[in-house]
Amino acid sequence: MIGYASRTGTRRNLDALRHAGWRLMVSAKGPLRPERFRYALDNGAWTAFQQGEPFDVPAFEKAVALLGPGADWIVLPDIVAGGLASLSFSLGWLDTLRGRPELRGAQYLLAVQNGMEPPHVASLVGPEVGIFVGGDTPWKLATMATWARLAHERGAFCHVGRVNTVRRIRLCAAAGADSFDGSGVSRFASALPTLDLARRQPDIEGWLAGRRL
């Protein structure tokens, strides 16, 4: 799986991440510097939610203008824990961004939240629009395999947000996710070797289960 680390300005941690082959998750609400990494662009909704603020449209627009064309993918604006209201909000932005010539060929990820189910998004998902598994932790862990399966059936990419432990990395692997992001390796270089090993290990239990079928 591909690991994305939250952007950090700590040179030691950046060097360790670069050596390990991780990528950066750059937030529209943070410094817009990818530090010569491959990167994805987060919309900043989670940070705004944590701070009790509304979605920061100017910050997102600035981030897209500066970093959108070079990003692996862009997380469409969403409403944290917003259910179908979040879906409607994201689709309005998808229409807007698709109309921008500088973003031709860009890949977008639709953030799925508590209250959404595969039939709500199946017709939208494909090579251009993948799935970002958001929502609260219990819902995410319970549903991410379903979202990964839907994404792959539609030829799309599946990413899981806020993954900071070996156990959750292994659950992502077992679910079939293509990538995940977390802040632990950005804050603590000492956490990187263990988490990096986990992302590189195959899903052994899933492989054994397949052999028994």
DSSP 10: -
Provide the pLDDT for residue 189.
77
Q: What CATH number is given to the structural domain containing 125? A: 3.20.20.105
Strand partners, 130: 109
Provide the pLDDT for residue 208.
40
Provide the pLDDT for residue 26.
97
**Contacts of residue 182, Cβ cutoff 8 Å, sequence gap at least 6:** 3, 4, 5, 6, 162, 163, 164, 195
Cβ distance 109 to 74 under 8 Å?
yes
Provide the pLDDT for residue 81.
87
H-type alpha helices, the chain = 11-20, 45-50, 57-67, 83-98, 118-121, 137-153, 166-175, 184-187, 192-200, 204-212
* Backbone torsions φ then ψ of 139, nearest 5 degrees: -65, -40
Strand partners, 148: none
With tokens 């750059």, the residue in question is 26
pTM summary value:
0.92
> How far is residue 61's CA from residue 204's CA, in Å, rounded to a whole number?
42
Strand partners, 6: 25
> How far is residue 90's CA from residue 84's CA, in Å, rounded to a whole number?
10
Task: Classify residue 210 by burial, with Cβ atoms within 10 Å: 0-12, 13-18, 19+.
Answer: exposed
Domain, as residue range, for 11? 2-212
CA separation (Å) from 21 to 14, 47, 161, 186?
Answer: 11, 26, 19, 13
The tokens describing 140, both together, are 């995410």
Full pLDDT tens readout for the chain, 213 residues:
999 999 888 899 999 999 999 999 999 999 999 999 999 999 999 988 888 999 999 999 999 999 999 999 999 999 998 999 999 999 999 999 999 999 999 999 999 999 999 999 999 999 999 999 999 999 999 999 999 999 999 999 999 999 999 999 999 999 999 999 998 888 777 889 999 999 988 654 554 444 444
Provide the pLDDT for residue 202.
63
CA separation (Å) from 206 to 158, 175, 185, 210?
Answer: 18, 9, 26, 6
Cβ distance 50 to 107 under 8 Å?
no
Cβ distance 69 to 52 under 8 Å?
no
The tokens describing 10, both together, are 């700590």
Provide the pLDDT for residue 211.
43
Provide the pLDDT for residue 213.
40
**How many other C-beta atoms are found inside a 10 Å radius of the C-beta of residue 9?**
11
